[in-house]
A = this chain, B = another copy of it.
C-alpha cells in the first residue's frame, strides 16, 4: 500500500507532518509513505527514511489560496502532485492537513468521483459517550447546497463506511432533523425523510435530533452539508468551551480546587481522550475513486499518525470497491 502525503499542508507543516509519518511508519512499515514536498525541509525533520519516498517539489498551496484557482494554477504544488499520483495509480490514498477547499477540489477534479456519485460527502467519526465506536456523520460540509440525490448517496456511502471500515452489521442510519416525528423539518428535510424511508437497502431509523448524537442514537447520521457543518462545529466549540470553563473555574476556586483537580487528573485525561475525535483519524471525502483524507489545519504529529493508521484501515477494508460495485450495478441506479 502506498499513501501520498501532502507534507506542506497544515499550520505545523512540514515538521509535525513528517513526525506523524514517522510515528505511523513505526507502527506499520509495510506501507510506503510518499512524501510530496520540499526535500530540504523534509530532511530537516526526517530521522529515518525506511519505507519513505520523497517526491520533491518547492511549490505548495497555502491556507489562504483560493481553492479552485490554486489547484488549476499550482500544477507542481505538493497537493496537486500527490493527487495526481493517486489518479495515475501510483498511490492508494491521499492525505493532507492543508487548505480544506483545495483538498476537496483536488479530490473532485484530480482523483475523481466514483461513477454514479453526484457529489462526494465529507465523513467524520465523532465520539459517543457510552461506546468506543463513535458515530459517523456525512456530509460535514463538502456540499452546502444539498439535493435529494446527494442525501440518498450519503446514506448508501455511510452504510458501506460503517459496514466495511467499522465492521457494524446492518448499521443504523438516521437523518438529522429538528424533531424525531416523521412530519418534522422544513420542506427539504421532509422530502429527505420520505425518500430515505422508501429505501430498502438501508436500515433507516428515522429522524434524529442533534441533541442525542453523542448518546449514540445512531451509527450513521446523514445530513445536508450546511447543517452537518454547523452541528460539527457546535460540538467542537461546546466541548472546547466547557473544558476551558472547567479550567477557569478550578483556577478561580483556590487551593482546594487545585488539589481536587490534581486528584481528578486521570478522570480528566479520560474525558479528554474520549472527546478527542482526532483518534478516529481525519475527515474522509467519500465517493472518490480512492480515499482522500484531510485532518484539521492545526494537526500535530499524533493526529497525522492517527489519520495515516485510519487510512490503512480504509484502504484495506475495500470500502471504495464496495461503493463502486453498488453504483456500477445497473439495477441500483433505479433502486429505491
Contact = CB atoms under 8 A, between A and B. Distances in A.
Nearest to A100: B179
A238 B234 contact: yes
A328 interface: no
A226 B223 CA distance: 12
Grouping DSSP codes into helix (H, G, I), strand (E, B) and loop, the A interface class, with mixed when no group exceeds half, is: helix
Nearest to A241: B214
State the copy count for this chain: 2
Contacts of A146: 186
Given A178-B144, A245-B129, A275-B242, A231 B234 contact: yes
Nearest to A274: B245
A171 to B, nearest CB: 21
A262 interface: yes
Interface in A225-270: 225-227, 229-231, 233-242, 244-246, 248-250, 252-253, 256-257, 259-264, 266-268, 270
Interface stretch (A91-99, A205-213, A278-286, A319-327): A205-213
A185 B271 contact: no
Interface in A168-184: 176, 178
A224 to B, nearest CB: 8
A332 interface: no
Given A230-B231, A238-B234, A253-B270, A187 B145 contact: yes
Given A234-B211, A245-B271, A144 B264 contact: no
A256 B268 CA distance: 13
A212 B234 CA distance: 8
B234 A250 contact: no
30 contacts: A129-B241, A141-B178, A144-B189, A146-B186, A178-B226, A178-B230, A185-B226, A210-B237, A211-B233, A211-B234, A211-B236, A213-B237, A214-B241, A230-B231, A230-B234, A231-B234, A234-B234, A235-B238, A238-B238, A239-B242, A242-B242, A249-B268, A250-B267, A253-B264, A253-B267, A256-B266, A259-B263, A260-B261, A260-B262, A261-B264
